[in-house]
Structure formats: C-alpha cells, structure tokens
C-alpha cells in the first residue's frame, strides 16, 4: 500500500457522486466444509490519479462530513444488485455490508434499507449488516432502536471487530446480533499465543451461548485455518481463503477454492 494520504471532503464527495467507488467482495466460508455462504462488501476508490485507495483513507472523512449516508447508499445499492446477479447465475449468497454508527441516527434508515432490498429483489435474510462503533457514542438510544427495527425486518446483524475497543459486551446485551466476528488481531497466530488463544476462546464461547454464528477474521495461513477447524469455529474469512476481489473474479475463485479445499481434507 502507498503512504497514506487523507482526502478532503470535496474529493470524497466527488468520488461518491461520480461513480469512482467500487465494491470488492471477500468470501466467508464454512470452516467444516469449505462451502462459501456469503461475501463481505469492502469499498474501494478507483482514484483517477492515485490508483486504488483503501477505506481507511476516506471512510473517516465521509463520517466526519455528513457523507456517510450517501456512501452507504451507493455501496449497498451496488452490493444488492450484484447479489441478484449472482443469484441469477445460480449462486445463492448472503451479502454483508459495513454500516457506520453514523448511519444509525435516523429512524428512517430501516425502511430505507428495506426499500433498497425490495427494489433489488433480495430477501432481508440474505443481507448482513456489519456494525462497529467508529467513535465513542454519546447517545446509544437511536442506534439501538434502529438495529432492533432492522432485526424485526429480518435483516441479519453482525457485530464486527469483536474484542476491540470498538465492540463491547454492552452491545451484545442490548442488541440481538445474529453473528459475531472475532477481530483478526485475535485470530491470526492464536494457535501459538496463549493470550490471543484465551481471547479467541472466550469470544467463541460467548457467541455459542448467545446462539450466534461466529466468523473468524484474518485467517492468513494454513495454521490459522487448521486451528479454526480444531476449535469448531463456524465461518472463516481472510487472505488464506481469498483476498477481497472484484465481483467478476468470484466464479474463478470458487473453482480454485474447491480444488484447494479438497486437498485439505485429503491430508486431514
């Protein structure tokens, strides 16, 4: 990655409204079988001069300047349309989209998301909203209410980066999440590190007891993958399985992955 440049509000607004944002998708697979059950949408900015710009260089700017609703609309609309295209090609997938806490301020948000899904012909059960606290929240009442309404509409809710300062036990108490994503800092290398292992185990147990699906993020090598297998984690995501990719690459990746997975079980 290039040295980090932070973009201005005008540049980010321009990018959002001039179709310079593009969705990449990273597979989520079942650890026990290797089956792909969904993808996470990760936005990139195809900058006319600076090549590919990563979200840490513009999501914060969008949040700080009231542009995050527009950004989420663009990303979600594209992700839903793509999900329909995959479905028509015989690939039934869940699509996850990252939602900023700053999206969860208006009580219209659930109806709005429901309308976009309906227009795209995608069932709410197929849509996962991944939530992180991007900043210290002053007032959690609106986000709680909005997440609860989304859940009642049958959208799936996922708590992202679990175990970091951005995700807390209080959120689990207050919101009926369907999925818990163990942060990558507790996954990669956990098999060889007592402290990481303890946090990974605790997160897994917690999710089990609350009946949530568990996704381990940051699965970077075969040792990480084998560790998830041994510990009975549900789903995995990470560079070992696939890097985030343009939608057009997914079919080829599936073919490669199936071949790799069959190799794993032969050795087990």
The residues binding Ca ion (CB under 5 A) are: 98, 130, 160-161
Measured from the CB atom, is 13 or 94 closer to Ca ion? Answer: 94
Which of 56, 119 has the CB closer to ligand C2E? 56
Q: How far apart are CA 37 and CA 159, in angstroms?
A: 18
**Under rule CB under 6 A, how many of the chain's residues touch ligand C2E?**
21
Q: Name which of Ca ion, ligand C2E, none residue 247 binds, using a CB cut-off of 5 to 8 Å depending on partner kind.
A: none
Nearer Cβ to Ca ion (11/102): 102
Tell me the sheet residues that pair with 42. Answer: 24
Cβ neighbours of residue 23 under 8 Å, at least 6 residues apart? 41, 42, 43, 44, 75, 78, 79, 82, 247
Q: Shortest approach of ligand C2E to residue 188 CB, angstroms?
A: 6
Q: Which one of residues 59, 61, 116, 250 is an interface residue with ligand C2E (CB under 6 A)?
A: 59
Applying CB under 6 A, does 184 fall inside the site for ligand C2E? yes
Radius of gyration, alpha carbons of the chain: 18
Spell out, one character per residue from 224 to 263, where the chain touches ligand C2E: x when CB under 6 A holds, - when not: --------------xx----x-------------------
Asked if 218 and 196 count as a contact pair (C-beta separation under 8 A), the reply is: no
Phi, psi torsion values for 164, nearest 5 degrees: -95, 175
Backbone angles phi, psi at 198, to 5 degrees: -60, -40
Which residues 6+ apart lie within 8 Å of 108 measured at CB? none
Out of 120, 146, 218, 250, the only residue in the binding site for ligand C2E (CB under 6 A) is 218
Say if CB 228 and CB 235 are below 8 A apart.
no
State which H helix or E strand residue 174 sits in. Answer: helix 169-174
Pick from ligand C2E, Ca ion, none: which does 54 bind, CB < 5 to 8 A by kind?
A: ligand C2E
Alpha-carbon gap, residue 65 to 126, rounded angstroms? 30
Binding mask 10-49 for ligand C2E (x = CB under 6 A): ----------------x---------------xx------
Q: Is 133 in the site for ligand C2E (CB under 6 A)?
A: no
Cβ closest to ligand C2E, residue 57 vs residue 126: 57
Q: Does 56 bind ligand C2E (CB under 6 A)?
A: yes
CA-wise closest residue to 128 among 81, 102, 160, 103: 160
C-alpha dihedral, 226 to 232 to 237 to 242, nearest 10°: 40
- Residues of this chain that interact with ligand C2E (CB under 6 A) are 26, 42-43, 54-56, 59, 75, 98, 100, 130, 132, 160-161, 184, 218-220, 238-239, 244
């Amino acid at each position: 990655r290039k040295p980090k440049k932070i973009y201005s509000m005008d540049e980010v607004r321009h990018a959002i409204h001039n179709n310079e944002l593009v969705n990449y998708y990273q597979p989520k697979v079942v650890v026990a079988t290797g089956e792909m059950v969904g993808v996470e949408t990760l936005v990139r900015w195809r900058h006319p001069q600076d090549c590919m710009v990563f979200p840490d260089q513009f999501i914060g700017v969008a949040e700080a300047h009231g542009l995050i609703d527009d950004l989420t609309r663009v990303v979600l609309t594209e992700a839903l349309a793509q999900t329909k295209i995959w479905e028509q090609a015989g690939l039934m997938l869940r699509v996850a989209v990252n939602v900023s806490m700053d999206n969860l301020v208006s009580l219209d948000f659930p109806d709005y998301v429901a309308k976009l899904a309906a227009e795209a012909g995608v069932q709410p059960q197929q849509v996962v909203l991944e939530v992180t606290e991007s900043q210290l929240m002053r007032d959690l009442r609106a986000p709680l209410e909005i997440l609860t309404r989304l859940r009642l509409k049958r959208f799936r809710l996922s708590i992202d980066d679990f175990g970091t300062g951005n995700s807390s036990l209080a959120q689990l108490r207050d919101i009926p999440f369907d999925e818990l994503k163990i942060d990558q800092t507790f996954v990669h290398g956990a098999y060889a590190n007592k402290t990481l292992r303890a946090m990974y185990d605790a997160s897994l147990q917690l999710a089990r007891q609350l009946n949530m699906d568990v996704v381990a993020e940051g699965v970077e090598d075969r040792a990480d993958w084998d560790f998830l297998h041994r510990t009975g984690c549900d789903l995995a995501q990470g560079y070992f399985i696939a890097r985030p990719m343009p939608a057009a690459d997914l079919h080829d990746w599936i073919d490669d992955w199936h071949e790799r997975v069959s190799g794993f079980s032969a050795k087990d």
